[in-house]
Amino acid sequence: MTLPIRKRFGDSMRDIKENADHRFEEAVVSRLLTYFGLASQKSMLRNRENDSSGESRLSLSMFQYEFPQLPIYLVSHALYRVESDVSIGKVFTCFDKTKLYKAYDDYSDVIPDSIESCKPYGLVVQWPRMRNGFILHDMPVDVNDGGMRLIYRNEDRCLVLESFDAFLDHLPEIEFITF
């Protein structure tokens, strides 16, 4: 008898999803470090996270603590099967009922109160065949900037969905202080 993979290796499905979240978060932090020319800070971030949480990994919270110049608070999530839930039809008819929108609301609870009132918030998610994923955020955008993005508005908010790479390309020039 063949056991399901999650039982064979002793991991629960929750552990598998948590590990996928951590791996994706590390990929997002690595992308930020590379994009901003901070790759040399990778081991410092990993060491500080280890000192703080006991886990030797890259985390967005530590990146944002060490580099507060980033004008947005980022959270990442390896959202499963998001592409089947966020079809073009759903985007234009009921975006606020998609997994992506619900995840954005759920993850907004992890934003520290000290940051919530002063910085926009973005959720970076994995997407099949998109190496660095997409971001759903509430940061103001210049519609005259090139690229493809979807803008969702209702009476409460204005959210933007775009590739993470395009998002980084449209950020204003940031000067990071390194040690």
- Using one digit for the tens of pLDDT, what is the confidence trace for 73-95? 999 988 776 666 777 777 778 88
The predicted structure's pLDDT at residue 159: 93
Partnered with residue 124 across adjacent β-strands are 76, 135
The predicted structure's pLDDT at residue 167: 93
The predicted structure's pLDDT at residue 74: 94
Residue 113 lies inside a defined structural domain of this protein? yes
149 shares a domain with 100: yes
Residue 2 lies inside a defined structural domain of this protein? yes
The predicted structure's pLDDT at residue 42: 94
Cβ pair 127, 82 in contact under 8 A: yes
The predicted structure's pLDDT at residue 88: 76
DSSP character at residue 3: P
- Sign of the alpha-carbon dihedral angle for 158, 120, 86, 129: positive
96 shares a domain with 31: no
How many residues appear in the chain? 179
The predicted structure's pLDDT at residue 117: 67
The Cα–Cα gap between 68 and 51 comes to 19
Among candidate residues 12, 44, 62, the one where a domain is terminated: 62
Domain hosting residue 43, numbered range: 1-62
145 shares a domain with 77: yes
83 shares a domain with 46: no
Strands 121-127 and 130-137: antiparallel
Residue 86 lies inside a defined structural domain of this protein? yes
Residue 5 lies inside a defined structural domain of this protein? yes
Q: How many structural domains are present in the chain?
A: 2
The predicted structure's pLDDT at residue 11: 60
Residue 6 lies inside a defined structural domain of this protein? yes
The predicted structure's pLDDT at residue 20: 80
The predicted structure's pLDDT at residue 19: 79
Strands 73-77 and 121-127: parallel
Low-confidence ranges of the chain (pLDDT < 70): 1-14, 16, 81-84, 116-117, 179
What does the block give as tokens for 65? 């603590």
The predicted structure's pLDDT at residue 35: 94
The predicted structure's pLDDT at residue 121: 92
28 shares a domain with 83: no
The Cα–Cα gap between 142 and 10 comes to 49
45 shares a domain with 2: yes
CB neighbour class for 103 (10 Å; exposed up to 12, middle 13-18, buried from 19): middle
47 shares a domain with 99: no
Residue 175 lies inside a defined structural domain of this protein? no
